[in-house]
Structure 1
């Protein structure tokens, strides 16, 4: 259950000496309140008028800041209920972070099929020392302890993706294989609920590769089979790295689909 809405006395007028457009200052202040745990995932924010008055800004300025945070999936508006700090859910994972879909048959599939949530099977969990690539992605020193997780993802019972996830061990203290396997929801929800880390966005690089022997065995294909490899760094507030993930996708019958949009700033 969400905590009770925090009183307006926790909000203070923005300093007159703040840098940048006023709505950006409002946005940074709202981000700070969330990042420091003043408002946690699932909490209801005070009414817009209360926040605007507390920060000493107009409703229009506040709404522009909130609009950006909604677009960035930090906040979510619910008609008639208010504005909430966003929770990671299966739907959010599916539409923001999972981009693999069955390839439509032009002769029969005029309308895209409904998106399918993948079945995720953990096939490896180990502790190790980071290599140079992992360390650079996570902004840690080479050789620092990391947790390496391997998952096999299937759609309609067919294995289509192998994920190798790397986490900085000091960030995820207390994460065990049992805790990971028995999480009640998505991996990103686990990060958020158990470790206070909200994944807001991801930076990805995509390249064509040949399936390694290990990946081929995991996905039931021939070694050397053509694959798509996606290198992702998941980011939290302040572009802080949360995880480094390498996804290898068998694209014989599936596509990597990304929907692009522009948000006016």
Structure 2
């Protein structure tokens, strides 16, 4: 009898006396007529370049990378025993729904076939390839493109459904961009079409921008010219009004000067005549007095 402890990334698979199927635990006493096997639960990356065919018989390559490993969280009755010896009284509690038990049974099968990790990889890649091809064959290329996220979710769901029977879980899935298969130019044509469309649209955008710029410039120039013409017209009107006002003022001044000169002349004439009239009166007085002298 010996006490076995698993490493942090390991579990122990114990079989033999008083164990109906397999006991999965982190630590346990291993009794005589029992066998203890360590197995790692580290996930592995499975990269594939799948060749698939759509509903319209269009072939393409689908690069995928799945990170898959034992589902350490889906434990059944096995997880209750801990370090207790798995005696007959607990044998009926063994739970074949335990993911790690399923995984341990898969490893045991591969060990018997002496294929090890390659055996597990072939099973996983076979499931990924088979489920992906089945799903793609039921969809059109347009559906794959327009419903890209739904396509990824369906691949994930279908593959996970098959992996469940082996106690495996998808920890990460990366579905990359679709590529042309040998002899196909579908995606190349799409890319070229998209590029030409983007180039043409860019040219249209540039032409539209130039048109808007030219129209805007002409509009601003026209507005400027109209504004200048309006200002010039208003200035001319104001100048005319000032000239009229100045001419009226000058005419009024000339009239006033004429009237003043006339009044001055009239006053001078009247003064001259008054003077002459007094002179005549004085002369008459002198003559009258001369005639009346004794």
Q: Check whether TM > 0.5.
A: no
Q: Which has the larger radius of gyration?
A: 2
Q: Looking at secondary structure, tell me which structure has more strand per residue.
A: 1
TM-score (ref. length: structure 2): 0.18
Q: Looking at secondary structure, tell me which structure has more helix per residue.
A: 2
